[in-house]
Amino acid sequence: MTLTQGVRAEQSLSDDEVLALRADFPILETERLVYLDSGATSQKPRQVLDAERAYLERENAAVHRGAHTLAAEATERFEDARATVAGFIGADEDELVWTGNATAALNTVAYAIGNASTGRGGAEADRFRLRAGDEIVVTELEHHANLIPWQELAARTGATLRYVPIDDAGALRLDEAARIIGPATRVVAFSHVSNVLGGVAPVADLVALARAAGALTVLDACQSVPHLPVDVKALDVDFAAFSGHKMLGPTGIGGLYGRRELLNALPPFLTGGSMITTVTMERAEYLPAPQRFEAGTQPVAQAIGLAAAARYLDGVGMARVAAHEAELGALLAAGIADVDGVRLLGPGPGEPRIGLASFAVEGVHAHDVGQFLDDRGIAVRVGHHCAQPLHRRLGVTASTRASTALHTTRHEVELLLEGVRDAVDFFGVRA
């Protein structure tokens, strides 16, 4: 299966279409900036900036609290944004919880399961309870945000944390996954797309293994929702997390998808105002999902901005975005692999990947490579990308990552490749 299965080549964005899209991004108006760090945070089109600004200037009020007209209108806009973003990922609106970011979304699931493991939530929540002897399974590819919460949950509950290893090329070993995921497995958490390698996980295989074991599945969809058509119900996962700031939206907001019946059975994580029905001095009763996980003042302007981002991406067409970025990823992989003294990490040339590639220059620290490229106006990410175990497994301390978006041109990829070749010459690298 390819990244763009069912997408014809002619559906990719043309050069003229990409240039037209670039005109929507104010920060890209400077000719000196080649922005290849969308995997860390995306740039925002005017449509998103205008939507957030318009709300703050003319509609700002507390949602789900006031009885006055402005508050009612703000609440309607807030919930309309939820419906828009939920639809964008193939969920129902009551299955989308607003969070501060994807990290908060993943922690919400982990801590809610931890609360269930202490007996909170009653009989309905008992299905989530972890005990000594139970196992949580992650992968060696994970971003720290989808690793550390599960480490902590295992420590709190006495469960055992296990991981599916990768091979030398960075691909998950499904033979090992089949061996590790078994009767003791209660949770399987994995990334849809590696934020370092750009490869797409075999979601169907991992979900099937988890289902056979009776385990919950938690998908880190941070690098897939902005770049691929994602339908969480078609993927058949139980939970999924994504970030607004990686999909052309504002910072300070993310989303947690959860199956309705699971969200309503989980005990809440954060507690306080706006997520309750009745409170006495002795106890509280909680609203159904999604409000039961949305204590306190909500990121209203950010939700409205994120909905504008979802509409913008929908307007372009996610299949076309995926096809365009797959082409850029292929150019990156082939060009990087062709430079002597540079090691491409992850899928090799010709293998499916999103428009993202990480590489290591022999004998040169990634920070130095990044600085060399930055001097040319090329913005990339350097370091371990919040994935230290993965880098350790691949035998590198750090890497340089170039990541594209729908506004990235083929010319910008060529500028990056030219910069890498010049960096090799500048630092005197020999293969």
Positions marked active-site:
386
How much is the pLDDT for 30? 76
- Residue 195 pLDDT level (bands cut at 50, 70, 90): very high
Q: Each residue of 45-89: pLDDT tens digit?
A: 999 999 999 999 999 999 998 889 999 999 999 999 999 999 999
The phi, psi pair for 360, rounded to 5°, reads: -125, 130
**Cα separation, 103 vs 94, whole angstroms:** 20
Q: Each residue of 239-271: pLDDT tens digit?
A: 999 999 999 999 999 999 999 999 999 999 999
Quote the pTM value: 0.96
Q: Each residue of 272-291: pLDDT tens digit?
A: 999 999 999 999 999 999 99
Q: Each residue of 31-53: pLDDT tens digit?
A: 789 999 999 999 999 999 999 99
How much is the pLDDT for 9? 47
Q: Each residue of 396-417: pLDDT tens digit?
A: 999 999 999 999 999 999 999 9
Quick check: 335 pLDDT over 80?
yes
Percent of the chain with pLDDT over 70: 97
- 124 vs 138, more confident: 138
Architecture of domain 9-44+317-426: Alpha-Beta Complex (3.90)
> Positive or negative, the Cα torsion across 62, 65, 66, 72?
positive
**What is residue 240's three-state secondary structure?**
strand
Kindly report which listed range (10-19, 347-356, 365-374) carries the lowest average pLDDT score.
10-19
Task: Work out the average pLDDT over 168-177.
Answer: 97
* Whether the Cβ atoms of residue 346 and residue 199 lie closer than 8 Å to each other: yes
Class of domain 49-314: alpha beta
Q: State the pairing for strand pair 356-361/399-403.
A: antiparallel
C-alpha distance from residue 237 to each of 53, 121, 222, 253, 326 (Å): 35, 22, 15, 21, 24
User: Could you state, in order of their start, the residue ranges of all structural domains in the chain?
Assistant: 9-44+317-426, 49-314
Instruction: Go through 23-39 and write b for each residue having 16 or more CB atoms within 10 A of its CB, e for each that does not.
Output: ebbeebeeeeebbbbbb
**Cα separation, 89 vs 202, whole angstroms:** 18
